[in-house]
Structure 1
Amino acid sequence: MKSAILVSGALLCFSPPAQAAQPAPHRYARIVLTGDLDSRRTTDLFLDTLRRLDSLLPGVILIELNGNRARDDLLFEAIGAVRRTQTPLAVSLDDPADRTVGPGQLAFALSAAHASISPRVRIERDPGDVLESLNPDIEDWSIVRLDLRHAVEPVAERRGFPASWIESLVAPRAAMRLVEDGEGRLRLEEADADTGATPAPVITRDERGWTCSLDARDAARLYGIALNRTTRPFLRSLGLRGRPIETVTIDSGLIGAHERCRLLVRQIRVAIGLADAALDVRHARRGGASLLPRDYHAAADKAGGYIAECRSAIAEIDRLTTAYPEVLSMEPPPDAETPTEIGGPTRPRPEAWRDAVRDAERRLASLDRRVAGYRRR
């Protein structure tokens, strides 16, 4: 028995140390980011999800993007997160709905280990796609654009093309054209360069701002990324099959939150009008008879229902603007951007939103007093 214990002890002493967890090469996790990279909430959720899936040690994390716009400060954070992720990332760009993805989304895909684009989409940017107004805390966006250029320089070096090719996607400094050399290779060059080639405009600028327009097939040739109609052949090319170990879908909710808040303000205004009308009890008179207490109570109950609806709507606006503070920098409710004086400037958008809610609260307070008076009759 003693020798058995000694042998057992020896085995324990000389057994190899526990191995660190290793990635499973044929497993993959999946993130579907639907919509633009336009809000702090969406970006934080995306980055938190990326960190959590990275900790599961899959072989690859597949990220599917279909957005058209990306706010520069948030894109900078997202590209930085790629460098901090241990798991290789594979990014697929596709949008069957409008067949368009943004240049920021393409830049993010290029920063990943593997990138694919659907042949049915175009890379498009319109001057109206600039989202700087959504973060009024940043005073100098030129610094953000400079940081973004520095963030993508290593991407260009790793992929073997000039840094200006990817800088032009996220922070262009010059108009660029697409040209083909004698061997059928594409390259980007400044539009004012004199090479004798017939230019195809890709990056242009007018009085409104920068515009980008690039076909998916040209993007694949130019940047050396895969061209796949769906994610299935893309995954097969990476040696991945079957279902992901986990799929997380993240919807960019900013546009929906903005539309909902505008609708709620309109509904509040209508409900306040209905509550005011409900308190007009003159219609309750029967011939020449005087109004009875029950007439006032009934009017108070009806108005109270509308008032409760308004307060519920104001609470929802507060929840949505807390989750998406960017809403306060977007188009305010109708009639909220009226001049502060005749011929004067319009109010800043955050102030216009707050004034719309404050005005509703003042009118509701007045209605509350009238309802309380009716109930005392």
Structure 2
Amino acid sequence: MTTSIRLRIILGENNSQRVILQDGMPTSVDDLTKEIANQCNLQGNFRLQFMDPDFDNDFMNLMSTSEIQDKSTLKVVFLTASSDNDSPIPHVDTSRSGSACSSPALSISCDALILSSPSTSTHSESSASFSPESSSSMKSSAWPAVFTVPRFTYDAELKLEQGNTAFKTQGTLLSPDPKLKISILDGLAEEIVKYKVYPSDAEYDQSAAALVQKHPCLKERGSVTGYSGWKASLKYKLGNYRTKLRNLGCTEVAVNSVKHKPGGISSPAYNVKKPRKAEVNYCPPHPQGEMEETLEAVRKILLNEVKKKNNEKNVRMLMDKSFSIRRHEVIKEPLIADFKTRWPALFRTEEVCAEFERITTIPLVSTFFAKLDGYSGKLMKMFAN
């Protein structure tokens, strides 16, 4: 009698599935791949990797079904077709590094650790700067100088249009019904979290002021500013919205959950970790398909790559890849000596600049040196006069 085989298949971050092979283990990797694709409803080409106990359970490419047994863990790595031939190759995102894994020693590691995303970003090969737009999980810009009120639902826009017309012709203010108010607050909250999950009081002011400026019919009677009630409602809405994001696993909010507080402290308000003014990507989620284990393996590879000469492109690629797990460590406020031992590449001049851009989306050298040049020019004119 054939014994069924149970396998745990990792499909991505926080996404795994159990596969049961009723007829036992297939004799070939191709047959196993087809069975997993069928049970997990997977589309496209992919390869399988297994946890190799000889290498501290790091994931290695599966070459033979004899490597796995009942209750083994496999990981799915999606592939993309090569433009040169029909054989599938692993997709490596080169948009951040300007170079894929160019050295033979690194190519195997990247092949084993980097999980492809369904979409491919295209940038010029000469660009080695970090591009937040290449990852859907990263914020792309800081809080805007002028907050733009988004378009709301179709029926909400119709009501506001009618209200604005009545305000212009008769000076009549609109008293929004609950449904309209919910639509407005939901729209504003979704727009705000594109930039910040924890806005400051001034940013709440800016958002509410922009609302009544675009829709003057929403101004409040008896309010000095005309929007103090909207500001209070928006704060309450963002609080509820953060709860929703926390339940969905948003790392920037989850880091402040009660379970992450020190032992014996159950107050959610204790030591809340928020981004500073310039920090856009304060606590980003891991890249799609990556987990702490795979990113920790990237960090270990980085320790070897940083020792090589003329290896800046590979170091940059690995530093970009491991950005999220590094930020999670920084937020926990580690000792500098320990952090330097774990991330020696970060203490290079070029990586300090790159890390600044990853966090703020603003180039460090061009921004601050341009300001210094401007100041020096003014000083030269002053002395000349």
Q: TM-score range by the shorter chain?
A: under 0.3
In our comparison, the structure showing a higher alpha carbon Rg is 1
TM-score (norm: length of structure 1) = 0.27
TM-score (norm: length of structure 2) = 0.27
